[in-house]
Amino acid sequence: MKNREQYIESLKNLKTQVYYFGKRIDNIIEHPSFKPHINSAALTYELANMPEYEELLTATSHLTGKKINRFTHIHQSTEDLVKKVKALRLLGQKTGACFQRCVGWDALNATYTVTYEMDQKYGTDYHKRFLEYLKFVQENDLMIAGSMTDPKGDRSLRPSQQADPDLYVHIVEKNDKGIVVRGAKAHQTGIINSHEMIVMPTIAMGEEDKDYAVVFAIPVDTEGVIHIFGRQTNDSRRFEEGEIDKGNYKYGIVGGEALTIFNDVFVPWERVFMCGEFDYAGLLVERFASYHRQNYGGCKTGVSDVIIGSAVAIAEYNGVAKASHVRDKIVEMVHLAETLYCGSIACSAEGFPTPSGAYFVNPLLANTVKQNVTRYIYEICRLCHDIAGGIIATLPSEADLKNEEIGPYIEKYLKGVADVSTEDRIRILRLIENMTGGTALVESMHGAGSPQAQRIMILRQANLNQKKKLAEDLAGIKKEH
Amino acid sequence: MKIVGIKYCGECNPEIDIGDFMKRLKLRLNSLGFTLTTDIDKSYGLIIVNGCRVGCLKREKFANFENIVVINGASIDSVIVDESKLAEKIAEKLFGGNC
Ligand SMILES: Cc1cc2nc3c(=O)[nH]c(=O)nc-3n(C[C@H](O)[C@H](O)[C@H](O)COP(=O)(O)OP(=O)(O)OC[C@H]3O[C@@H](n4cnc5c(N)ncnc54)[C@H](O)[C@@H]3O)c2cc1C
């Protein structure tokens, strides 16, 4: 297993092509825009090496019997699935942000289960190839980006119907050594500080989309791969002096996402895990999406723990902690967060083995959790804004606070209760501003799929006929069932 | 007539229509000269019926049976099966080529 320093050191060996603000960035590790995201991912390595956290953050490889970082583990039981959720909550609490490694973890598990089933049907050897890849990942404790979302162009059209065929990643050439792919993946969490990426289709495919039904793994610095790092709310504050205005200055917000371009990228056969088996694209999406939706009642509950904590703190700093409506709002925030957690624990406890032996979550419950996340996090943040007051939208800068001439005015007039410093009050307010608005909120809506994607899955899994029959039976409606 | 044991999970939230499935299963087993019993100690084999993929009733609980088929919703021994074919496939599993 790598530790924090080894992880950061290992990124230096990569020649990842990253662009940001119109410039090529050669040293991502020291760049202020990327540092918080690297810190956050590094915590998955650091905590795994600490005895306090090893039960959640490490596992025993079912392939080699060795101790591995849990983020590279294939779930072998419902207990593993439950531990996944707990590990994510823990890391959400410690970072208050996204620590990025769950996407690749879900890609590993989804690909593991689906390659097994594909081989059973087609006699292919994708699973065998994948096992070799998995051993390599576990052995080297690699961070994997999970690359599913294509840019998608006109959403009403299939991949093969798009005006520009590259709007979904597709195979442009096959030869005896491998395949060549072209296209792009959008919103790639943590990709610029990952080692590898697993590329998967983003929707179910028909025969006409055969060339788009492709799964493969490559290093993020493969020739022809370009990453264009996305902007975030208030990102230019990272270029400023000081730490207060950055809010969560150590770990940032969400995962640091990029648009990743594949300019005719070569992938050797041993790294190809689906190549034209269009009838398995839908299953892969369903597996990945359900594993990924499971996570959100873990990590977002952890992040909510921090938001709730900041609401408790600011209520105290403002002198309203004992007000009954404030206490009630905090109870509501806790209730919402724990409801999310319940869903993630439930979909894990109700998990079951796939034919490969790897465990899968209950997809109905996993989709239900994520659907709730698209609402409850907004409500948690709304309540936090309510408690914090309008000052989160109008606070002067850290530079003004530190200014000799006007700083004393800020000290004097932005003080809350007498025994808390103005700076501490401002720090909490900036943390709230950072964690509860803009980019941070959107992740809860669209990360792991937009609400409608969950509703489609919920409808598919809901067994409405059985529910109708229950009602008809109770109503005394006699039918030949 | 020979007997095959059956054990139900409790059916809290089934993904399959258990009533319909049982009707088909009984018909299929009867056609092979078998009948179902919940008195599983005396039975030839055992069919474990879990209404959904969660599969609360585990095979390991019935380790003394040699011939067990586990249904978890529309799947037999973890392989997804068309719901209308479940009974047929169970018979194949239990009696191999003899049916
Ligand atoms: C912070 C963040 C991190 C992310 N990380 C990753 C990652 O690491 N890896 C990854 O692969 N993806 C990642 N995603 C992508 C995420 O999965 C997508 O944002 C999500 O699937 C929605 O896709 P979209 O953004 O293209 O929105 P769109 O698909 O454009 O959706 C916008 C709206 O249009 C609707 N819509 C879309 N298509 C149709 C249609 N055909 N018919 C009717 N309505 C439609 C949707 O339901 C939605 O309401 C991330 C997203 C965010 C915000």
Tens-digit pLDDT profile for residues A232-255: 999 999 999 999 999 999 999 999
Backbone angles phi, psi at B71, to 5 degrees: -105, 125
Q: Choose one of A296, A446, A459 to mutate for the ligand 1 pocket test, by most ligand atoms within 8 angstroms of C-beta.
A: A446
Neighbours of A176 (CB within 10 A): 5
> Considering chain A, what is the average pLDDT of its residues?
97
Lowest mean pLDDT among A149-158, A290-299, B82-91: B82-91
- Same domain? For A296 and A263 the reply is no
pTM of the model: 0.93
Distances in Å between the alpha carbon of A298 and those of A77, A79, A307, A368, A440? 18, 15, 14, 14, 16
Interface test with B, best of A352, A361, A457, A458 (most B CBs within 10 A): A352
Residue B11 binned pLDDT confidence (cut-offs 50, 70, 90): confident
CATH of residue A421's domain is: 1.20.140.10
Q: Is A405 a catalytic residue?
A: no
For residue range A40-86, list pLDDT tens digits in order: 999 999 999 999 999 999 999 999 999 999 999 999 999 999 999 99
Q: Which of A186, A143, A187, A137 is nearest to A38 (CA)?
A: A143
Q: Taking CB atoms and an 8 Å limit, are B78 and A354 in contact across chains? A: yes
Asked if residue B1 has pLDDT above 70, the reply is no
Residue B96 binned pLDDT confidence (cut-offs 50, 70, 90): confident
Query: In terms of CA atoms, which chain A residue is nearest residue B57?
Result: A352
**Domain hosting residue A140, numbered range:** 4-278
Q: What is the pLDDT of residue A113?
A: 98
Q: Is A299 a catalytic residue?
A: yes
Give me the mean pLDDT over the A144-159 stretch.
98
Q: What is the pLDDT of residue A146?
A: 98
Backbone angles phi, psi at A268, to 5 degrees: -65, 150
Give me the mean pLDDT over the A149-172 stretch.
98
How is A216-235 classified by DSSP, letter by letter?
EEEETT-TTEEEEEPP-TTG
Residue A21 binned pLDDT confidence (cut-offs 50, 70, 90): very high
- Same domain? For A231 and A196 the reply is yes
Using DSSP's 3-state secondary structure scheme, residue A98 falls into: coil
Closest residue to B19, CB basis, from A355, A463, A481: A481
**Ligand 1 neighbourhood includes A201 CB (under 6 angstroms):** no
Percent of chain A with pLDDT over 90: 99
Q: Taking CB atoms and an 8 Å limit, are A352 and B72 in contact across chains? A: yes
Residue A481 binned pLDDT confidence (cut-offs 50, 70, 90): low
Q: What is the pLDDT of residue B63?
A: 86
Does any domain span residue A478? no
How many domains would you assign to chain A?
Answer: 2
Residue B97 binned pLDDT confidence (cut-offs 50, 70, 90): low
Does any domain span residue A452? yes
Does any domain span residue A465? yes
Q: What is the pLDDT of residue A346?
A: 98
Asked if residue B79 has pLDDT above 90, the reply is no
Q: Which residue has the CA at smallest separation from atom 32 of ligand 1?
A: A450
How many domains would you assign to chain B?
Answer: 1
Interface test with B, best of A114, A118, A119, A463 (most B CBs within 10 A): A463
Q: Taking CB atoms and an 8 Å limit, are A355 and B19 in contact across chains? A: no
Query: In terms of CA atoms, which chain B residue is nearest residue A463?
Result: B15
A149 CA to centre of ligand 1 in angstroms: 7
Of A240, A262, A278, the last residue of a domain is A278
- Same domain? For A209 and A298 the reply is no
Of A278, A303, A333, the last residue of a domain is A278
CATH of residue A155's domain is: 2.40.110.10
Both tokens of A426, joined, read: 């401002």
CATH of residue B66's domain is: 3.40.50
Q: Is A98 a catalytic residue?
A: yes
Q: Which residue has the CA at smallest separation from atom 13 of ligand 1?
A: A187
- Same domain? For A78 and A97 the reply is yes
**Domain hosting residue B11, numbered range:** 2-98
Asked if residue B30 has pLDDT above 60, the reply is yes
**Ligand 1 neighbourhood includes A254 CB (under 6 angstroms):** yes
- Same domain? For A76 and A201 the reply is yes
Q: Taking CB atoms and an 8 Å limit, are B55 and A352 in contact across chains? A: yes
Does any domain span residue A479? no
Q: Is A481 a catalytic residue?
A: no
Tell me how far apart the alpha carbons of residues A106 and A74 are, in angstroms, rounded to a whole number.
9
Q: Is A257 a catalytic residue?
A: yes
Give me the mean pLDDT over the B76-93 stretch.
89
Q: Taking CB atoms and an 8 Å limit, are A354 and B72 in contact across chains? A: no
A469 CA to centre of ligand 1 in angstroms: 36
> Considering chain B, what is the average pLDDT of its residues?
88
Closest residue to A463, CB basis, from B15, B20, B55: B15
- Same domain? For A269 and A322 the reply is no
DSSP class of residue A310 equals H
For residue range A264-291, list pLDDT tens digits in order: 999 999 999 999 999 999 999 999 999 9
Asked if residue B23 has pLDDT above 70, the reply is yes
B79 touches chain A (CB under 8 A): yes
Q: What is the pLDDT of residue A372?
A: 98
**Ligand 1 neighbourhood includes A161 CB (under 6 angstroms):** no
For residue range A316-342, list pLDDT tens digits in order: 999 999 999 999 999 999 999 999 999
Asked if residue A180 has pLDDT above 60, the reply is yes
